[in-house]
Chain A
Amino acid sequence: MEICRHNDQIEISELDPFLAELLRQIPASASPDGVPTAEQRLFSSPTNGKEPELCAEWKQYVEPELRRLFQSATETVAADLEQLNGNEKSLANRTLHIPAKHTDAWLSALNQARLVIAAKNNFTELELSDHFRSPIGSRRDLSLFQINFYGFLQEFILRELND
């Protein structure tokens, strides 16, 4: 896989089918549905449970706005990922272009996905800081790889934003 900035977009080329599939899974991975711990992480209390009146208002008025924000980001990413659904051979390497104006949506969707995967798997801080674990021998290993891969993409996007 190669990743570079190309004019007004980020180009991820030489994407093998495995990494392309991980990218396709970003929108689904970002959904906290059915996982209370993930839901709690994405929509955390503004006061650590204190100030019940404020928390109730937050739930009523702020949470829907946050849901819309997060959903909007994953929808943008899902639309970009349609580039990977071409008619080429299923085992061919692919190229993905991320427009510069979509980078905030990508940062958000990648972050959502990483937080939800971490919450679903209840990863410890030690596991999350182990970036060199290999090979992938279980579903849990794959989830950790997914978090690290998405983190790598976030880092690249952030670096491009800072330049």
Chain B
Amino acid sequence: MTPAELIIPESARPIPTTAPYSLFELRAPYVSVSAMSRERRRGVECRAQRKDTEGTTRVLDETGSVTTAEPTKETRSAEDLDLPWQIVVHNDPVNLMSYVTMVFQRVFGYPREKAEKHMLEVHQKGRSILWAGMREPAELYVQQLHGYLLLATLEKLS
């Protein structure tokens, strides 16, 4: 598939990364990471959509599989598109296994079994690829994972 344009639904404006922005809502007395999650979802919905040269919109999920969707009017230039990035979570002897599982469930919305599978992969192999897709939602996912104090990095898929 040749990416040409990025579809940005009106209801899912991207979150800028080149200017100061606040992804957290201040909710007394604790600033919640989950507030960031909602913003992220909007970004993911937006950024995970691509349109090929025939105008068909394709939606990428975390496994890299593609489904089609109705095209919308607003588009972005090709330079804003990026090759897929992957989110890698690395092993950390301090974070509890149950905590890591909960974070995967919260951040990616994975069912418990899938979250546990990734957690065990991190624990046994030292790393697990949690998601792959466009750079902007990937950055937001990593930001959220760092908010939960997991060791997570972005890697460009070659």
Taking beta carbons and an 8 Å cutoff, which residues of A are in contact with B? Answer: 42-48, 51, 54, 57, 61-62, 65-66, 68-69, 72-73, 75-76, 79, 101-102, 104-105, 107-108, 111-112, 114-115, 118, 123, 125, 128-129, 147, 151, 154-155, 158-159, 161-162
* CB nearest to B95 among chain A residues: A111
Nearest residue, chain B, Cβ from A114: B94
CA distance A102 to B30 in the complex (A): 8
**Taking chain A's interface residues, is the majority helix, strand, or loop, or is none over half, making it mixed?**
helix
Contact of B153 among A43, A46, A115 (CB under 8 A): A46
Give the residues from 100 to 115 in chain B that come closer than 8 angstroms, CB to CB, to chain A: 102
B residues in contact with A159, CB < 8 Å: 98
Tell me whether chain B's interface is mostly helix, strand or loop, or mixed.
loop
Known interface pairs A42-B149, A102-B30; 11 further A-B residue pairs with C-beta atoms within 8 A, sorted by A's residue number: A44-B151, A44-B153, A47-B155, A48-B153, A51-B156, A61-B21, A68-B24, A72-B31, A104-B30, A158-B99, A162-B102
User: Is the beta-carbon distance between B98 and A66 smaller than 8 angstroms?
Assistant: no
How far, in whole Å, are A125 and B32 apart by their CA atoms in the complex?
Answer: 30
**B78 close to chain A: CB less than 8 A:** no
How distant is the Cα of A27 from the Cα of B151 in the complex, in angstroms? 22
